């Protein structure tokens, strides 16, 4: 019977993922009504509610499970408590989460997930030094876990231990997207732009997202790799033409390459999309004037004049 209910839950989630949201939610609610005497099913369902962002539904279900002391063995009860603590942390109910986590700690639970949740708790409370100790403990338990290494590196940076953060990532050989982005940003903040650029390029081999293309393109531009920077930002805008920050950067790249006409086209697109940006509008007007395209420049100058008149009123 348990397997059948778990199958129904999985099918309901598929419906939700396929935009049959109402049908999927109805199916989950029916499972909750008819499978309430099966703790394993209810724990699985609570996790699904949590993953779907229904924090209250997940919390209510877990609290109900924990109130039935005879319904679960110790291991399942601890799983319930850990999931409830995670839900409460996401809902910013820190005091309740702390109570549950310390109950687990006092009864001798020593799983890695407890250390990570305590680290989350203390980070949310602004106690990064305390959080750091729990992440270090988690890494001792799973030294090969790249996500934990990346989290530890991030905390090292937050407490000002940047060199240790970079050394950690090098030592762990971390190559996940999250870790590479963290490493690239850290190197850029330290002014080590060439290394940051190469790290961003590694990350691009994993994912070619607009944000990553923008950051890599910007780094390439600052290093003087203009053709590569141009290609990256043009690729970005082909993926997402509304990524507004890319237009001014692309205009800078075009101008550095001596492509004034292309810079003008780029800024015109930006002005059309953004509605109004005083600095870029002034820039576009100046470029058109310098290029001898006075009639076009007048159109944008009129927009500037109208804006100035409105401001004076």
CA dist., res. 199 & res. 30, Å (int)? 49
DSSP output for 143-171: TT-HHHHHHHHHHHHHTT-HHHHHHHHHH
pLDDT value, residue 162: 77
pLDDT-above-70 percentage for the chain: 93
**Angle made by CA atoms 127, 80, 35, in degrees to the nearest 5:** 150
Pair of tokens at residue 129: 């030094």
pLDDT tens per residue across span 67-117: 887 778 889 999 999 999 999 999 999 999 999 999 999 999 989 999 999
Instruction: Tell the residue number behind the tokens 């639970």, with chain if given.
Output: 109
What percentage of the chain carries pLDDT values higher than 90?
A: 51
Q: Return mean pLDDT, the chain.
A: 87
- Six-digit token pair at 111? 């799983």
Local confidence band at 310 (pLDDT 50, 70, 90 cut-offs): low
- Does residue 300 contact residue 276 with C-beta atoms inside 8 Å? no
Give φ, ψ of 37 to 5 degrees: -90, 5
Residue 257 pLDDT: 95
> How is residue 296 written in tokens?
């076009």
All domains of the chain in start order, with CATH:
1-109 (1.25.40.10), 208-313 (1.25.40.10)
Q: pLDDT at position 276, please?
A: 66
Q: Would you state the pLDDT for residue 80?
A: 95
Nearest to 68 by CA among 31, 42, 106, 86: 42
Asked if the model's pLDDT at residue 173 lies above 70, the reply is no
Q: Which pLDDT score is estimated for 175?
A: 62
293 vs 44, which has greater pLDDT?
A: 44
Distance (Å) of CA 114 to CA 41, 124, 131, 250, 262: 23, 15, 12, 47, 55
The span from the CA of 249 to the CA of 295, in Å, is 26
Query: Would you state the pLDDT for residue 309?
Result: 55
pLDDT at 152: 86
Query: What is the band of 1 on the pLDDT scale with cuts at 50, 70, 90?
Result: low
**How does pLDDT run across 175-207, given as a tens digit for each residue?**
667 778 878 888 888 788 998 999 999 899 888
Query: Is pLDDT larger for residue 20 or for residue 279?
Result: 20
> Taking the CA of residue 138 as centre, how many other CA atoms within 13 Å lie in the half-sphere pointing to its CB?
24
How does pLDDT run across 43-59, given as a tens digit for each residue?
Answer: 999 999 999 999 999 99
Burial of 37: CB neighbours in 10 Å, binned 0-12, 13-18, 19+: exposed
């Amino acid at each position: 019977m348990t397997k059948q209910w778990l199958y129904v839950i999985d099918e309901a989630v598929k419906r939700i993922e396929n935009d049959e949201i109402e049908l999927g939610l109805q199916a989950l609610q029916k499972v909750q009504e008819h499978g309430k005497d099966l703790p394993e099913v209810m724990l699985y369902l609570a996790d699904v509610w949590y993953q779907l962002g229904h924090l209250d539904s997940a919390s209510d279900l877990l609290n109900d499970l924990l109130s039935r002391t005879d319904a679960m063995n110790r291991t399942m009860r601890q799983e319930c408590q850990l999931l409830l603590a995670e839900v409460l942390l996401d809902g910013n109910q820190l005091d309740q989460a702390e109570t549950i986590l310390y109950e687990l700690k006092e009864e001798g639970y020593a799983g890695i997930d407890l250390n990570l949740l305590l680290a989350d708790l203390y980070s949310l409370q602004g106690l990064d030094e305390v959080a750091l100790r729990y992440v270090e403990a988690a890494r001792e338990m799973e030294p090969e876990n790249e996500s934990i290494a990346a989290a530890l590196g991030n905390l090292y940076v937050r407490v000002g231990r940047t060199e240790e953060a970079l050394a950690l990532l090098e030592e762990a050989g971390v190559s996940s997207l999250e870790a590479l982005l963290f490493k690239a940003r850290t190197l850029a903040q330290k002014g080590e732009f060439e290394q940051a650029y190469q790290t961003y390029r590694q990350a691009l081999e994993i994912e070619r997202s607009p944000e990553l293309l923008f950051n890599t393109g910007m780094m390439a531009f600052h290093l003087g790799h203009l053709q590569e920077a141009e290609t990256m930002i043009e690729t970005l805008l082909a993926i997402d033409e509304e990524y507004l920050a890319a237009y001014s950067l692309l205009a800078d790249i075009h101008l550095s390459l001596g492509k004034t006409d292309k810079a003008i086209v780029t800024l015109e697109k930006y002005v059309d999309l953004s509605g109004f940006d005083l600095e870029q509008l002034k820039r576009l007007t100046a470029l058109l004037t310098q290029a001898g395209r006075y009639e076009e420049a007048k159109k944008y100058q009129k927009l500037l004049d109208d804006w100035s008149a409105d401001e004076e009123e």
